[in-house]
Amino acid sequence: MSLSGKRVLLGVSGGIAIYKTLELLSRLNRVGADTTVVMTRGAAEFVTPLAFQTMSRRHVYTDLFSDEDGFIPHIDLTREADLFLIAPATANVIAKMAQGLADDLLSSTALAAHCPVMVSPAMNVVMYQNPATQANLALLRERGIRVIEPESGWLACAEMGEGRMPEAAELFDVIEDFFTEKDLRGKRLLVTAGPTKERLDPVRFLTNDSSGKQGVAIAKRAKLRGADVCLVHGDVSVPLPKGIETRVVESTEDMLDALKQALPDADALIMAAAPADFKPVKRAEEKMKGLDDGRVRTFDVVDTPDILKSLSELVTDQIMIGFATETEHLMENAREKLTKKKLDYIVANDVTQQGAGFDVDTNIVTILGHEGERSYPKMSKEDVADRILDLLV
């Protein structure tokens, strides 16, 4: 994960959105970021410094005039940080930053910042839309401070409108994007995710246990690394990344048709979906009724199109990466698919291994190419995504 070891200084001012900052702090710690917190007196009225100290496992700074063995917080904190994010940033804090005021630790630290600074405004809609606030935010943008735009919605004051601080997950994504090298900029990637469905009748279908987590992780990391991403997906169980093109499909044939349309503009295809391998010979037009007389119901099925084999005939210079999801003879099957489907690489995983199944957040893979094979230990699906994307750099 790109945030491991990154030093993030969190500035917290007094607003009800402060609870989101606690969750953000938890998310940052889980991926190995090194976090430190600076709080205003107003912030301490909402959440005690002890809560942030417990979450960050570090001293929380609140006093402008503290001097700890030569360490001067408002000077030295950002000297040691890779990023300074103020969230929530109240109208008062934003005004201080715009006018260069430094009457407490947070505003002094912002004025003396040695690292990139971001602010996430959070306030009442009327305060946010006030010309003074908008002018102050414009000044901050002109000076190179990134303003994370607030959302519209119900506010704590029971009004509707702009001024709502984004959720912790979205702030985390902003930070992750900041620290991610854009080494795939200029690349157009076609990624697939999730299962396909083959209908038995209008209310029943054949499918598999794929959650789409691995494919969505690949699409997300590719977007963060600067690629232009088209995600063709079935019914996935995880949120889709923002800022990417998506095409929803149901059947395996639908997925193949969508990929045929998108492939000519792509630099690479990463086939992480789990298409259904067979479908009923005949689909019932109406809902099938249950049998009450003990008879056995049978269905005739036929193979669905082999997507990668079909696309291999259309490839010009695209890099083709497939998956071999197996329950036995993993490496033998993967090597056969690599050659038979004319792939550049194939990602092999045995879903019977603990931590490598469809609906978990980790995976255990071996990546095979014509130049060799490399096995990886259990890791998050986003880390697996990065190992796959590294093949394209």
Could you list the active site residues? 157
Tell me which H or E stretch contains 221: helix 213-224
Q: Residue type at 358?
A: F
Q: Distances from the Cα of 321 to the Cαs of 52, 150, 175, 191, in angstroms?
A: 44, 38, 29, 10
d(CA 161, CA 125): 5
Q: How many residues appear in the chain?
A: 393
d(CA 178, CA 198): 41
Nearest to 384 by CA among 222, 253, 246: 222
Which residues touch 252 (CB under 8 Å, ≥6 apart)?
A: 196, 198, 275, 276, 277, 279, 304, 305, 307
Q: How far apart are CA 192 and CA 127, in angstroms?
A: 44
Residue 321: Cβ-neighbour burial (10 angstroms; 0-12, 13-18, 19+): buried
- Give the Cα separation of 38 and 36 in Å (integer): 7
> What secondary structure does DSSP assign to 241-285, as a single string?
PTTSEEEE--SHHHHHHHHHHHGGG-SEEEE--B--SEEESS--S
Separation CA 341–CA 311 (nearest Å): 9
Structure tokens belonging to residue 284:
């019932």
Please say whether the dihedral angle defined by the alpha carbons of residues 348, 350, 355 and 360, taken in this order, is positive or negative.
positive
* Closest residue by Cα to residue 6 from 169, 182, 179: 179
